[in-house]
Amino acid sequence: MSGNAQPQFTRQGNIGSTLFGGTALTTSDGSSGTIGTTMQIAFTADATNGSYVEAIRVMAVASVAATATAATVARVYVSSIATGSTTTSNTYLIGELALPAITADQTTTATNWFDLPLGFRLPAGYTILVSSHVVNNGSTNLRAIVFGGDY
């Protein structure tokens, strides 16, 4: 069988987003996570044809001015499931971002963001999950934004 010799273009943009870090996940191998608790869904691929994922951006956010997040490692996974408990057979670590303590919601200084390039096709129904190794400080969160498009 021959492969596709034509370029593939997405038919529409797809942006996924979630807050995460309210609970910690101290493993990085894809095991022991619970979707909706220790791992959050940041992006879901199109159910029929899959999606292209370009990059994920992580930003510190706060509900109280000049509040600092906890330093942590944000982890990004690909998973074939969207609910329940993850295992090493259905969830795979694809990247990590070392995040310092970040003062969010500042009055005169912009807060930096952290990007992780992805650049791959995500199969139909698969998800991009995120987790934090350390629980966020009070009144703070981390926001993951995934930029992509559906085929």
User: What domains can you pick out in the chain, each with its CATH number?
Assistant: 12-150 (2.60.120)
Q: What is the pLDDT of residue 76?
A: 98
97: which strand partners? 74
Q: Is the pLDDT of residue 2 over 90?
A: no
Per-residue model confidence (pLDDT) at position 81: 98
- What pLDDT does residue 91 have? 98
What dihedral angle (degrees, nearest 10) is formed by the CA atoms of 115, 120, 123, 127? -10
Backbone angles phi, psi at 72, to 5 degrees: -160, 180
Cβ(18)–Cβ(144) below 8 Å: yes
* Spatial CA neighbour of 14 closest among 70, 47, 52: 52
pLDDT mean over 91-117? 95
1 pLDDT more than 80 = no
